[in-house]
Amino acid sequence: MLKIENLHATVDGKQILNGLTLEIPSGEVHAIMGPNGSGKSTLSYVLAGREGYEVTEGSVSLNGVDLLAMEPEERAVAGMFLAFQAPVELPGVGNANFLRTALNAIRRARGEAEIDAMQFLKLARARMKELHMPEEMLKRPVNVGFSGGEKKRNEMLQLALLAPRFAVLDETDSGLDIDALKLVSDTVNSLRGPDFSALVITHYQRLLNHIVPDRVHVLSAGRIIKSGGPELAQELEAAGYAGVQAAA
């Protein structure tokens, strides 16, 4: 499980997270909603270990291990996965090569046997079929020339192949049409189980109709101001953040 306690973080000296506390037990999917600037993306980058996001107070542990002491690649090996809001394009890096390198890096670090190109292809093909991704997307450079929806599906392909213990989805629904939204949701739902948990960051209720969360939290000014069941998302959709912020 992921345990965040009293997390304070700054970006460029600016305080963004102000004592955020949150527990996501194994097997559960939680959603974080909140207005722009409330710290949603900062939280996702702090969890993944991006440079420039400085934790000034508090702790984060994944299955009892201190996440903040680890390098980004060590976090991935420990089971952390961040689906990026705006995935980068990597000209010159073939998608298949990238995916297999990542998969094998994690397998190697976990003491598992690496998989060869043929095994990988078989694995990737099955997952790509589920995501309605044409196979030629393996041959192209990572995300180069991909549409917004294709980039998000490529993120989901990475999620499905790397099969992490904990996934953060940072506004994965932004810019997706309804079909792509469904594919993204199917991927996350297919991973749900006792050993998997996720934090879904979103602006919109829409995604949560497909990935039904166990808990919904409202983030405002860098802390959780309200938590509730899935119905909280509907409340927010109807009343907006202002009502919740005023009540908190």
Partner 1 sequence: MTAVSGTGAAAFLARYEGLRTRLPGARVAWVEALRDKAADAFRAKGFPTRRTEAWKYTDLAAVAGAAFGEPLTSVDDSPALPPATHPRAVFVDGRFRPDLSTLDGVAAQVESLGAALPRLEGRIGALARPENEPLAALNTMLFEDGLVVEVAAGAAAGTLEILSLAAESERAPAFHPRHLVRLGAGATLTIIETATGPAAARYLHNPVFEIEVAEGARLAHGRLQQEGHEGIFLSTVYAHVAAGGVYDNFTLNAGAKLARNEIHVALTGPKAEAHMNGVQMAGDGQHVDTTTSLDHAAPDCSSRQTYKTVLAGRSRGVFQGKIHVHQVAQKTDGYQMNQALLLSPDAEIDSKPQLEIYADDVKCSHGATVGELDADHLFFLRSRGIPEAQAKAMLVEAFLTEAVEAVADEPIRTALEQGVAGWWQRQGVAA
Residues of this chain that bind partner 1 (CB under 8 A): 48-51, 71-73, 75-77, 81-82, 84, 87-88, 90-93, 97-98, 101-102, 105-106, 109, 141, 158, 162
Query: Whole-number minimum distance, CB 203 to partner 1, in Å?
Result: 23
- Closer to partner 1 at the Cβ: 92 or 111? 92
CB 185 within 8 A of CB 207: yes
Specify whether the backbone of 52 is left (phi greater than 0), alpha (psi in -120 to 50) or beta.
Answer: left
Bridge-based pairing of strands 29-33 and 53-62 is unpaired
CB 84 within 8 A of CB 155: yes
CB 83 within 8 A of CB 154: no
Query: Whole-number minimum distance, CB 225 to partner 1, in Å?
Result: 29
Q: Which residues contact 158 (CB under 8 A, 6 or more apart)?
A: 81, 83, 99, 102
Query: Whole-number minimum distance, CB 77 to partner 1, in Å?
Result: 6
Query: Whole-number minimum distance, CB 83 to partner 1, in Å?
Result: 10
- Closer to partner 1 at the Cβ: 71 or 177? 71
- Closer to partner 1 at the Cβ: 77 or 221? 77
- Closer to partner 1 at the Cβ: 112 or 237? 112
